[in-house]
A and B are shown apart, each in its own frame.
Chain A
């Protein structure tokens, strides 16, 4: 399939494919089984300049756009969604600095993140605040030139592994979502500790941990934007980051389709390859069509964002929702094509299915995405 990629975009795809084939595929089952964070692979991704794709040239980035980030994320997801999640989650952690950071904050943090010497994490979710992000309880109380953080963040991807954390905390308790502010918190800050590491269904090699703040003193200059801008920072970040979650869906679905197709051509039943049965052919045809439709939507959303268009919430949400639903369906269908073998750990599709499920949940459940889409439709109309 030809996607009219530029030479540079094709280079990004080629680099990611090499990382997938040489570094990820040989170890992905073991990393999954033992829940090992893929530090070496993330280092390799950093050395290959893939974190630079997110970041403007002035801060050590490549000056590329969300489309290039999606290309890289899709390819890495073909190899392993744990790796792709760790990669994309660092982006999610530092996009707030790009969209809301001061010049000084950008100069201080982005170059090392671009190089991959440091990775980032995004701390919004709490035990009592998931989809209802406005109800977070972590408190940031002003104290002279500092804010004192108290509270617990839950299920934070790259938790413990990341060096730089974007943390959302309440600075003005009476104001709901408008009382939330965002802060840059560095690992090692006194009063900032890590809680339990989660044992998960899928993306088991990615790190998911609690962040615990106990009288953690943060300099005021680490606030992103001004007081009360936290919720807007989060929403603007999601507008930029959601197509990459869609790209994860496209990548894992593509990988499952490839395994199913290869298997169908060699697996013989009743004396013939099962790919000669119309029942299998129609499944493969549907899977391929869904993957292609999801890819088109993700690429389109990314290109619209890169064009500078401001009202991207709807398209961004659509790409995340649709591609993650496709990922779930296609990975389940891939297991069906492989039958009993698909259910076994000797084949990679059961892992792909376990991994794919998270895409319908994180960075806004697909129900929340539908809310975003519907609200935008009603507010701005169909186009």
Chain B
């Protein structure tokens, strides 16, 4: 097998509008006819993928970035954008059977696609999407592929064909992990500043033929894809109502303190 360090960057198209509509039948986002953009966190994933490629290339080895997305046909546009930003190839996973997928079915579809790509060493994802907001697809995908997953990376300290060293900011400390490759890493916006597309990248993006993989191409049974393959289904999406009442406590400081203490005790707060 050729010795190429293949990096897969998973990206997602999200509505580029603040007017998000929900399909009342399926309770999923209406994506048709809505202007889409690359999920903002995924732009950092693309940039990090391209930087890893450049690092590997600087050490004299071959490397390549493949951007992959699952979505309706119009999400091809974000794959072209990924190419303009330095990805070498792109794959669109698009099939009516994929519609309505939850994070599990999405991860399973991605896993099937990744398995079709030879020689991949590293998967990079944005830490979460702006629409779904779960942050689950990355770890689920890694679990299904049986590879290590490091979430919320803030820098890739070292990288070789064999292993990766990743630093991330935890609540009160920095953590550094060294894991064997292949592995998956999710990134946030502190990892890099994404570059501006290049002219050669844009020209390549315009002319590139982007293959469309359907369920049958990735050998995914339709019962495991989309809504039928989903363990979770969104029943209802709503904004929680915050209610509160204000009660003014009268009297001198001591009286007020006593009254407040009594009230807090009643509410089992103290």
Give the B-binding residues of A (Cβ under 8 A).
7-8, 11-12, 15, 18-19, 22-23, 44, 47-50, 52-53, 62
Find the A residue at minimum CB distance from B201: A49
A53 to B200, CA, bound (A): 11
A22 to B43, CA, bound (A): 15
A62 to B198, CA, bound (A): 12
Is A8 a contact partner of B203 (Cβ separation < 8 A)?
yes
A-B contact pairs, 10 of them (CB 8 A): A7-B206, A8-B199, A8-B203, A15-B196, A15-B197, A15-B199, A19-B196, A48-B197, A49-B199, A49-B201
A47 to B197, CA, bound (A): 8
Q: Max chain A CB contacts within 10 Å: which of B200, B201, B202, B206? A: B202
> Beta-carbon contacts of B192-223 to A below 8 Å, as 1s and 0s?
00011111111100100000000000000000
Does more than half of chain A's interface fall in helix, strand or loop, or is it mixed? helix
A48 to B199, CA, bound (A): 6
Is A15 a contact partner of B202 (Cβ separation < 8 A)?
yes
Is A44 a contact partner of B199 (Cβ separation < 8 A)?
no
Find the B residue at minimum CB distance from A20: B196
Nearest Cβ on chain B to A344's Cβ, whole angstroms: 31
Residues of B contacting A50 in the complex (Cβ-Cβ under 8 angstroms): 199
Find the A residue at minimum CB distance from B206: A7
Is B195 a contact partner of A11 (Cβ separation < 8 A)?
no
A117 to B201, CA, bound (A): 18
Find the A residue at minimum CB distance from B194: A22
Is A11 a contact partner of B199 (Cβ separation < 8 A)?
yes
Residues of A contacting B201 in the complex (Cβ-Cβ under 8 angstroms): 49
Residues of A contacting B199 in the complex (Cβ-Cβ under 8 angstroms): 8, 11-12, 15, 48-50, 52-53, 62
A38 to B129, CA, bound (A): 34
A15 to B199, CA, bound (A): 7
Residues of B contacting A49 in the complex (Cβ-Cβ under 8 angstroms): 198-201
What are the 6 A-B residue pairs with the smallest beta carbon separation, nearest first? A49-B199, A49-B198, A11-B202, A48-B198, A18-B196, A49-B200
Is B202 a contact partner of A47 (Cβ separation < 8 A)?
no
Is A18 a contact partner of B206 (Cβ separation < 8 A)?
no
A12 to B196, CA, bound (A): 12
Nearest Cβ on chain B to A361's Cβ, whole angstroms: 31
Find the A residue at minimum CB distance from B86: A47
A50 to B201, CA, bound (A): 12
Nearest Cβ on chain A to B43's Cβ, whole angstroms: 12
Residues of B contacting A53 in the complex (Cβ-Cβ under 8 angstroms): 199
Is B195 a contact partner of A47 (Cβ separation < 8 A)?
yes
A116 to B206, CA, bound (A): 23
Give the A-binding residues of B (Cβ under 8 A).
195-203, 206
Q: Max chain A CB contacts within 10 Å: which of B197, B199, B206? A: B199
A257 to B22, CA, bound (A): 44
Residues of B contacting A22 in the complex (Cβ-Cβ under 8 angstroms): 196
Nearest Cβ on chain B to A267's Cβ, whole angstroms: 30
Q: A48-B198, A49-B198, A52-B199 are in contact. List 20 more A-B contacts (CB 8 A).
A: A7-B206, A8-B199, A8-B203, A15-B198, A15-B199, A15-B202, A18-B197, A19-B196, A23-B196, A44-B195, A44-B196, A47-B196, A48-B196, A48-B197, A48-B199, A49-B199, A49-B201, A50-B199, A52-B200, A62-B200
A80 to B198, CA, bound (A): 20
A15 to B198, CA, bound (A): 7
A312 to B199, CA, bound (A): 28
Find the B residue at minimum CB distance from A40: B193
Q: Max chain B CB contacts within 10 Å: which of A15, A23, A44? A: A15
A48 to B206, CA, bound (A): 16
Residues of B contacting A11 in the complex (Cβ-Cβ under 8 angstroms): 199, 202-203
Nearest Cβ on chain A to B251's Cβ, whole angstroms: 52
Nearest Cβ on chain B to A50's Cβ, whole angstroms: 7
Residues of A contacting B202 in the complex (Cβ-Cβ under 8 angstroms): 11, 15
Nearest Cβ on chain A to B103's Cβ, whole angstroms: 32
Residues of B contacting A15 in the complex (Cβ-Cβ under 8 angstroms): 196-199, 202
A113 to B203, CA, bound (A): 21
A19 to B197, CA, bound (A): 9
Q: Max chain B CB contacts within 10 Å: which of A8, A11, A18? A: A11
Residues of A contacting B203 in the complex (Cβ-Cβ under 8 angstroms): 8, 11
A44 to B194, CA, bound (A): 10
A100 to B200, CA, bound (A): 27
Nearest Cβ on chain A to B75's Cβ, whole angstroms: 21
A19 to B196, CA, bound (A): 7
Nearest Cβ on chain A to B196's Cβ, whole angstroms: 5
Nearest Cβ on chain A to B133's Cβ, whole angstroms: 25
Find the B residue at minimum CB distance from A17: B196
Residues of B contacting A12 in the complex (Cβ-Cβ under 8 angstroms): 199
A7 to B201, CA, bound (A): 14
Residues of A contacting B196 in the complex (Cβ-Cβ under 8 angstroms): 15, 18-19, 22-23, 44, 47-48
Nearest Cβ on chain A to B189's Cβ, whole angstroms: 14
Nearest Cβ on chain B to A41's Cβ, whole angstroms: 10
A36 to B74, CA, bound (A): 43
A53 to B199, CA, bound (A): 10
Residues of B contacting A18 in the complex (Cβ-Cβ under 8 angstroms): 196-197
A52 to B198, CA, bound (A): 11
Residues of B contacting A47 in the complex (Cβ-Cβ under 8 angstroms): 195-196, 198
A8 to B198, CA, bound (A): 12
Nearest Cβ on chain A to B74's Cβ, whole angstroms: 20
Nearest Cβ on chain A to B88's Cβ, whole angstroms: 16
A44 to B200, CA, bound (A): 14
Nearest Cβ on chain B to A53's Cβ, whole angstroms: 8
Q: Max chain B CB contacts within 10 Å: which of A48, A50, A53? A: A48
Residues of A contacting B198 in the complex (Cβ-Cβ under 8 angstroms): 15, 47-49
Find the B residue at minimum CB distance from A72: B199
Nearest Cβ on chain B to A21's Cβ, whole angstroms: 10
Residues of B contacting A7 in the complex (Cβ-Cβ under 8 angstroms): 206
Residues of B contacting A48 in the complex (Cβ-Cβ under 8 angstroms): 195-199
